[in-house]
Structure 1
Amino acid sequence: MKHSFFISLLLFSVSFPVLLQAQAIIPFAKGIADKKEIKLSEVASAIKYIPLETTAESLLEQDILDVTIAGGYLFVCDYKKLFQFTLEGKFVRQIGRAGQGPGEYTESILGVTYNERLKEIYLSDPRQLKLHVYSFDGKFLHDINMEGREYVRLQNDGCFYAIYNDFLYDKQKRGKEMVVYDGDGKELYNFRFRPKEGVRYPGINFTLPVIYTYQNAIYYKNPLEQEINRIEKKKRKPVYKLDLHDLEKLNHEEDGKLVIDREKQVGGYQPNEIAKKKIYFQDIFELDHNMGIYYIQEDERRFAWYDKQNGKVCRVRSLQADKDGFTDDLEGGSPVLPNFLRNGKLVGVVPAPVLQEKVDPENVRGSLKRVMEELLEEDNQVIQIVTLK
């Protein structure tokens, strides 16, 4: 009987290792020092290139806030407008617009999220303390009055998860960095910044926290701390730590400073050259065996790949490529730098001129071959949808 008990206990331990493990250390700084080529076929079974239809009504800005696959559509937001396309890239409509009327948002979009079950879109407008709600067919439904000015970036189980980067401006540097609201916009609970004694923090912080879902749980990372926390019962539980080694001391460097010429009565922003080596984490995509980490360093968008089984990190970039990303050996396209993880698929965004310049039309195949036959330099971006193995 004793033997049966110990065997059962051993099997339980093997089956549920996460319960027994302490916080995992991700050797980030050490890993990104080396570039490694990873072919797309090593991690994915397919890629689809989707050209977004370019019209006077659907012209996108250069920077993209979000691309989401929901309800059989592609929703693309460029900070100023939210567009709806078919899964083949044909323009359907614009969702909402800037203005002061009902259902109109103030100047720019700082957060957008979707509910596929209800077929609803939630567009964050912190300047008006509102969350504008639209249907998937573009109709304005109603506003949710919010209690705070945070940016709603995630909707899960009827709750809205909102993040902010102004927590440093609180007198005690204990401002709210994330707030959870109910479906009516009422605050349920919040997490405040926890400054560490003796640590100097920058006066200005432009980087937003990272928030993502994995296996029905919410994960969160403050931009000034290296811990990735899982939210459990209104508490933060550290599950990973990104080891920045010597780079961590740069976190507290100012990104720049305001310089004023009093004689000419003009001012300007002077960047801090030392701070360019700082790591600015933009997004994290967690999978069962890997983790994708999208970050900015030295004014360049970069991508790292963490193998959860062997504990190693690498910066993903072919020696022949001029940008980070998986080498597209499936259709012969440009490197795939994932910007988002949506419905289990990696999503990349490629400017049309980049494809025209970097891709050899004679070597492309599949969906990319059809795209390249009609692509123009002034066209909208092309979306890469990657189906993982």
Structure 2
Amino acid sequence: MKKLIFILIIVITACRNSSDNQPRDLRLIDVEGGVGKGRLVKLSEIAESIEYIPLETNSEAVVGKISFDRVFYENERIYLVLQNMSIIFFDKDGQYLNKISKYGRGPQEYDATLTVDIDLKTGDISVLAYNKIVEYSLDGDFKKVVNYKDNDFLSKHNIIGFIKSDLNYFLRSTINDRSQHSGFLIDSTARLLLSVEYPQEDYEKVTTYSALLSIMNPMIFRHKNAIRIKNYNRKNEMYII
């Protein structure tokens, strides 16, 4: 059954608009012509049920501003990534479970929360920091760190996302005039196992027009027990790992 879960948080957050229209060619979009042609979509059209979950609030679970709307629901747990670099998680009923607050430059800490990935089997939390991935258990205990900055090839790329796949990690890279790769598969020692190149023709087009760089970055996501990376190009290419 499809279920749409809304999490009630007594905070004031900024709203961000997003668009599913990602350009594959340099085209003129008639924005003015589309004004007044939209419609409101009812929640009943996309969900069979709606559940509101009030989150427990205590001295350890004070929810501040959420970082880039990062709210995850996996394994019947709710994970919130806050702007103060903390990660708070609750059970499916909103009861507070634990908090990870390891911001710093130590070997078992993270100096950024660029993105977070949840292990679908164990619930462990992996944090993408600058040049490394740090993994913690549900108890907040440090488990391991993957320092991909030690790999000379990877250190030249700007890694902006990742997904953990069993014992390996699939990294997502930005597209720029120094890198023609959109993704990499590495093991827990940061050894490069696989790389995915951005199609040459589209790469030249994107890097020529710098305004397209951010919106033409590849996407990475899980689908049907596989990891898929999608390059934005005319051929609509997708790679399955």
Normalization by structure 1: what TM-score? 0.44
Contact 2:115 / 2:161 at 8 angstroms: preserved in 1? yes
Which of 36, 40, 47 is the aligned partner of 1:37? 40
Distance change >3 Å, CA 119–CA 91, structure 1 → 2 = closer
Match of 1:196, SS state, is helix
* Match of residue 144 from structure 1: 146
Cα distance in 1 between the residues matched to 2:69 and 2:189: 25
Letter in 1 for 2:55: L
* Match of residue 202 from structure 1: 210
Cα distance in 2 between the residues matched to 1:227 and 1:46: 37
Cα distance in 1 between the residues matched to 2:104 and 2:44: 46
Cα distance in 2 between the residues matched to 1:155 and 1:205: 25
The equivalences for 1:34-183 within 5 A come to 34-55=37-58, 57=60, 58-78=62-82, 80-106=85-111, 108-125=112-129, 127=130, 129-146=131-148, 147=151, 148=154, 150-165=159-174, 167-170=175-178, 174-183=179-188
Contact 2:91 / 2:97 at 8 angstroms: preserved in 1? yes
Contact 1:103 / 1:140 at 8 angstroms: preserved in 2? yes
Cα distance in 2 between the residues matched to 1:83 and 1:36: 36
Distance change >3 Å, CA 124–CA 65, structure 1 → 2 = farther
Gaps of 5+ in 1: 1-24, 235-389
* Match of residue 231 from structure 1: 239
Q: Percent of aligned pairs with the same residue?
A: 22
Contact 1:120 / 1:136 at 8 angstroms: preserved in 2? yes
Contact 1:160 / 1:181 at 8 angstroms: preserved in 2? yes
Contact 1:96 / 1:105 at 8 angstroms: preserved in 2? no
Cα distance in 2 between the residues matched to 1:227 and 1:156: 26
Q: How far apart are 1:201 and its partner, in Å?
A: 2.1
Q: How far apart are 1:62 and its partner, in Å?
A: 4.4
Cα distance in 1 between the residues matched to 2:212 and 2:102: 30
Which of 207, 211, 220 is the aligned partner of 2:229? 220
Normalization by structure 2: what TM-score? 0.67
Distance change >3 Å, CA 135–CA 62, structure 1 → 2 = closer
Gaps of 5+ in 2: 1-23
Cα distance in 2 between the residues matched to 1:217 and 1:73: 22
The count of corresponding residues between Structure 1 and Structure 2 is 197
Cα distance in 1 between the residues matched to 2:234 and 2:87: 32
Distance change >3 Å, CA 228–CA 212, structure 1 → 2 = farther
Q: Over the residues paired in the alignment, what is the CA RMSD in angstroms?
A: 3.1
Distance change >3 Å, CA 118–CA 99, structure 1 → 2 = same
Cα distance in 1 between the residues matched to 2:117 and 2:180: 24
Structure index of larger Rg: 1
> Which one is further off, 94-103 or 131-140?
94-103
Q: How far apart are 1:124 and its partner, in Å?
A: 1.1
Contact 1:53 / 1:89 at 8 angstroms: preserved in 2? yes
Distance change >3 Å, CA 81–CA 187, structure 1 → 2 = same
The equivalences for 1:330-349 within 5 A come to none
Letter in 2 for 1:190: S
Letter in 1 for 2:46: V
Match of 2:45, SS state, is helix
Letter in 2 for 1:84: F
Q: How far apart are 1:220 and its partner, in Å?
A: 2.6
The structure richer in helix per residue is: 1
